[in-house]
Structure formats: structure tokens, C-alpha cells
Amino acid sequence: MGDNGEILDIKIADIKRTAPHFSHESVALAQALTKLKTGLSAAGAPWGDDEQGTKFHETYGPLVTRIEKSAEILAAGLASIHTAMVDMADGHIDNEELIRSMFSRIDVPHDTEGHGK
């Protein structure tokens, strides 16, 4: 519970203001990954094809692939957080409107002093 007794205090404006940051960072990460792939591809195999170079590449090659795949997953995850936050904010607004409309249809009879019975 929050300090004001509310169980869930969702500030829609904060969610909508924060959500785009995830999208921007997703794009920035994807651009960095493209730059990394381009740079590594341009470098070729500077470790050579001798025995030491071959051993290095046997270890290095799979790790590069895993790092690239992980960064792709992270970029997609950041983009999906943006989408989820926007959907959550919109859903919260829709839910509040639904609840408001449900309770606005309730007719509460009042006594002569203005209190509900």
C-alpha cells in the first residue's frame, strides 16, 4: 500500500513519458550492434590461419555469434517493453473508464438528509 492508502498508484503520464526511452535505447542498441558486426566483418580474420589463430577462432567465433544474438534479443526486448508500457497505460485508462461507467449507472436512493441508504 502507498502512503495515501492506495493499493495501486499508477501514474499514466509517467508511464507514457517513460515508454519511449525503451524504444530509443532499442534503436541505439541495434545501431551499435550493426556497427560492431560491420567492424568485425571488415577486420576479417586478423588472428591468422596458423595453429594459434585457428585455436583462437574456435573459441572466439562462437562467442561473437552468441554476443550478437544476445544483443539482438535485448534490442527486441527493449522495444517490446515500450509497446507493453503503452498498452498497459491505455488498458489502465480503459479500465478506469469501464469502472466509472459501471458505477455511474448505479442509482443510490437518498434520504431527506442527502445520505445514501
- All 3 cell numbers of residue 16? 507514457
pLDDT on residue 2: 47
- Is 89 within the bounds of a domain? yes
Q: Which residues contact 78 (CB under 8 A, 6 or more apart)?
A: 22, 23, 25, 26, 29
Contact 64, 7 (CB under 8 A): no
- Give the count of domains, the chain: 1
Cα–Cα distance for residue pair 107/63, rounded to 1 Å: 67
The alpha carbons of the chain give a radius of gyration, in whole angstroms, of 27
DSSP state of 106: -
- Is 1 within the bounds of a domain? no
Cα–Cα distance for residue pair 33/29, rounded to 1 Å: 6
- Is 114 within the bounds of a domain? no
Q: What is the mean pLDDT of each run of 10 residues along the chain (117 residues)?
A: 56 84 92 92 86 91 91 92 84 69 67 57
DSSP state of 116: B
pLDDT on residue 75: 93
- Is 7 within the bounds of a domain? no
pTM of the model: 0.60
- Is 99 within the bounds of a domain? yes
- Is 42 within the bounds of a domain? no
What is the domain extent for residue 59? 19-34+50-104
Provide the 3-class DSSP secondary structure of residue 110.
Answer: strand
- Is 57 within the bounds of a domain? yes
- Is 9 within the bounds of a domain? no
